[in-house]
Structure 1
């Protein structure tokens, strides 16, 4: 995709300083948080353990290493982190099975960003194999750049993934709008200095300075994003 990014610190003709839009994947663009939880439940059932709902909010939206480590420690399962990571990714792909359910408003928003040539990146804690699998359903053409959790030294909640995406797009993080659905993702984006739009999926997210909370992507369009980065 060919994009044109305004010079740092300048505004576009509509008065906005928005330079790029960075989007999380699971729970933000695609309704896959339930698939991940089911994968975790299934894998641990196979290991002889039952996962209670109390673990769900802990593991949602975080990097695979954090979620898997928590579940190993909580259950005492006799499995290594690397072994569990493979099993979880394998089971997730089986459950997905070509079905990539988009969140309400996602398809329309991606189309609008593409139509106006807004530089857009996908920034996920999921591994590359999962991102590429999901992108086949979402449409890789919507993104100029994608960041996977296993491609950065420190994934969310560290700011590195969002700083990486902004740098690749040639954008100032302060002129980037980030759309996230979890506290972990919001923390990463805010630590990078981005303007954040939170669309909570499983756990609530409170409004804060520099952060806007909406109930659905159906409330988000390009005019809205531009109004937040001024």
Structure 2
């Protein structure tokens, strides 16, 4: 079904911190891994990685805590902890599930665009359903590179410039803007700076399908 002209061509969703609050799982795992290496891990360290490509984050963690683990091993260790926690409980962000449901009922295509790997995102995909899914292990360049959002638009058969992306981090917002999307930023763990084609809000709770259509036209 083609969406009416007053609606966005598609809505592209970040996952971690935007749809579901996984940041405590990621950050808790980072602190635990650092403790196992008798290394100091700070809030600044944790927040600097929010929204990042997991491979790049693992390189940073390895260097920061002085680990003998390879970056791939660090990614797998943290990813498995988050995947288990996410399958046990989904801490949905306010308004996210309701907006996803409203968009589906309006016939607007939706994609999940996350730097989490496929097996981590699986529970969310199973519960919510998306027309396309782009995960961190399916792209060559992660956020803030535009590739993830360009790939999502391609899979949906639309132009990224006609899409709205919903993000919670500066890294993700930069990725979506670089792809040409209008970004709705809902800061959670970190602040997101203002930028062209970017709307910053405090919650998704009162955001409507029509609101997204107006933003896509800006």
- The bucket for the TM-score relative to the shorter chain is over 0.9
Which residue of structure 1 aligns with residue 131 of structure 2? 144
Q: Hey, what's the Cα distance between the residues in 1 that align with 2:40 and 2:85?
A: 19
Equivalent of 2:104 in 108, 114, 118: 114
Equivalent of 1:105 in 95, 101, 104: 95
Q: Hey, what's the Cα distance between the residues in 2 that align with 1:93 and 1:127?
A: 9
The 5-angstrom pairing of residues 42-121 of structure 1 reads 42-121=32-111
Task: Indicate conservation of the 8 Å contact 1:17/1:175, yes or no.
Answer: no
Task: Indicate conservation of the 8 Å contact 2:87/2:123, yes or no.
Answer: no
Find the residue that maps to 1:219 and give its secondary structure. Answer: coil
Which range moved further: 206-215 or 89-98? 89-98
Q: Would you say 1:4 and 2:2 are equivalent positions?
A: yes
Task: Indicate conservation of the 8 Å contact 2:11/2:109, yes or no.
Answer: yes
Task: Indicate conservation of the 8 Å contact 2:11/2:108, yes or no.
Answer: yes
Which residue of structure 2 aligns with residue 178 of structure 1? 165
Unaligned runs of 5+ in 1: 6-10
Q: Hey, what's the Cα distance between the residues in 2 that align with 1:124 and 1:18?
A: 20
Unaligned runs of 5+ in 2: none
Provide the aligned C-alpha RMSD in A. Answer: 1.5
Task: Indicate conservation of the 8 Å contact 1:63/1:156, yes or no.
Answer: yes
Deviation for aligned residue 1:97 = 4.6
Alpha-carbon deviations, 1:87-122, whole Å to 9, x = none? 111222333351011100011101101111100000
Q: Hey, what's the Cα distance between the residues in 1 that align with 2:199 and 2:178?
A: 15
Deviation for aligned residue 1:191 = 0.7
Deviation for aligned residue 1:17 = 5.9
Q: Hey, what's the Cα distance between the residues in 1 that align with 2:125 and 2:153?
A: 20
Task: Indicate conservation of the 8 Å contact 2:25/2:81, yes or no.
Answer: no
TM-score by length of 2: 0.94
Deviation for aligned residue 1:196 = 0.6
Task: Indicate conservation of the 8 Å contact 1:175/1:194, yes or no.
Answer: yes
Which residue of structure 2 aligns with residue 215 of structure 1? 202
Task: Indicate conservation of the 8 Å contact 1:199/1:217, yes or no.
Answer: yes
Task: Indicate conservation of the 8 Å contact 2:186/2:201, yes or no.
Answer: yes
Which residue of structure 2 aligns with residue 8 of structure 1? none
Structure 1 runs, 4 residues or longer, greater than 4 Å off: none
Q: Hey, what's the Cα distance between the residues in 2 that align with 1:28 and 1:220?
A: 14
Task: Indicate conservation of the 8 Å contact 1:109/1:221, yes or no.
Answer: yes
